[in-house]
């Protein structure tokens, strides 16, 4: 099973709303990732969690707040977003550490900020 | 210069043709090489994964890595309309959690 699931599939929110994106995997992977993808562009890395600890933050604005409650779950909390934050948000997972290999992506959450 | 270069296309070929997709890279530390297929408005799907140099075949797909030339390729034989998608190359160094992507090549297979 190489499945990463994400909810919701679509999300529309206003600039004053607070919402959360959820990601789940049951492959025993200990590294999980959030990416942002704009149309016709490759995914851009936002955050990496390794063994439930934040290991990489690619200088993401504080209106995006990641959380890793356990080894299978990853959340992205959204607050006071801007219209330019509208994008496909992708979660991925992989083995962690020295033997990190390939990453498996979820289907994404398509976010529209009005 | 970008770390990974990939021709964005678009590339259109007739059904049944052999497709060749390529990426070049500049970072000699890269050891893991991946090809992802992404259909419109969906997440990337892992197609092929190769460690270091060499070839790997899976059905109609063959991935090649030439580390001496810093060049990777994906070949699709007997292309089908369902192969129409954007193909992203990606690579990483061992122990490095960061994937570096190419810009993606948009491929259309014409029936």
pLDDT per residue as tens digits for the range A41-98: 999 999 999 999 999 999 999 999 999 999 999 999 999 999 999 999 999 998 876 5
pLDDT for B88 equals 97
Q: E-strand spans in A26-108?
A: 31-37, 44-50, 53-57, 64-70, 73-79, 87-94, 104-105
pLDDT for A100 equals 58
pLDDT for A101 equals 66
**Closest to B46 (Cβ–Cβ): which among A88, A96, A102?**
A102
Residue (of A78, A92, A65, A58) closest to A11 by Cα position: A78
**pLDDT tens-digit profile, chain B (111 residues):** 789 999 888 999 999 999 999 999 999 999 889 999 999 989 999 999 888 888 999 999 999 999 999 999 999 999 999 999 999 999 988 766 788 999 999 999 999
Which B positions 11-40 lie with beta carbon below 8 A of chain A?
A: 32, 34, 36
In contact, B100 and B88? CB cutoff 8 Å = no
Using a CB–CB cutoff of 8 Å, tell me whether A27 touches chain B: no
Residue B34's closest chain A neighbor by CA? A102
pLDDT for A97 equals 64
pLDDT for B46 equals 92
Which B positions 53-92 lie with beta carbon below 8 A of chain A?
A: 88, 90, 92
In contact, B108 and B12? CB cutoff 8 Å = yes
**Closest to A101 (Cβ–Cβ): which among B32, B44, B104?**
B32
Using a CB–CB cutoff of 8 Å, tell me whether B109 touches chain A: no
Judging contacts by C-beta atoms under 8 Å, the chain A residues touching residue B25 are none
pLDDT class for A2, splitting at 50, 70, 90? low
Give the Cα separation of B104 and B86 in Å (integer): 6
Using a CB–CB cutoff of 8 Å, tell me whether B99 touches chain A: yes
Are A100 and B96 inside 8 Å of each other by CB?
A: yes
Residue A84 DSSP class: G
pLDDT for A98 equals 56
Provide CB contacts within 8 A for B5, sequence distance 6+: B23, B24, B25, B102
Question: In three state form, how does the secondary structure of chain B look?
Answer: CCCEEECCCCEEEECCCCEEEEEEECCCCEEEEEEEEECCCCCCEEEEEEECCEEEEECCEEEEEECCCCEEEEEECCCCHHHCEEEEEEEEECCCCCCEECCCEEEEEEC
**Closest to B43 (Cβ–Cβ): which among A40, A96, A107?**
A107
Using a CB–CB cutoff of 8 Å, tell me whether B42 touches chain A: yes
């Amino acid at each position: 099973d190489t499945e990463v699931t994400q909810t919701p599939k679509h999300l529309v929110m206003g600039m004053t709303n607070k919402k959360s994106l959820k990601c789940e995997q049951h492959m025993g992977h200990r590294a999980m990732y959030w990416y942002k993808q704009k149309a016709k562009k490759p995914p851009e890395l936002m955050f990496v969690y390794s063994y439930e600890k934040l290991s990489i933050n690619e200088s993401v604005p504080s209106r995006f707040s990641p959380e890793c409650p356990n080894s299978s779950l990853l959340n992205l909390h959204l607050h006071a977003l801007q219209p330019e934050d509208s994008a496909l948000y992708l979660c991925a997972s992989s083995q962690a550490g020295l033997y990190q290999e390939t990453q498996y992506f979820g289907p994404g959450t398509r976010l529209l900020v009005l | 210069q970008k770390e990974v270069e990939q021709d964005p296309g678009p590339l259109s070929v007739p059904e049944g043709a052999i497709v060749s997709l390529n990426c070049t890279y500049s970072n000699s530390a890269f050891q893991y090489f991946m090809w992802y297929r992404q259909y419109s408005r969906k997440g990337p799907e892992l197609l092929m994964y190769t460690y270091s140099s060499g070839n790997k075949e899976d059905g109609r797909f063959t991935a090649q890595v030439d580390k001496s030339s810093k060049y990777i390729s994906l070949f699709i034989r007997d292309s089908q309309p369902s192969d129409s998608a954007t193909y992203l190359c990606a690579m990483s160094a061992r122990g490095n959690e960061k994937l570096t992507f190419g810009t993606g090549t948009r491929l259309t297979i014409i029936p």
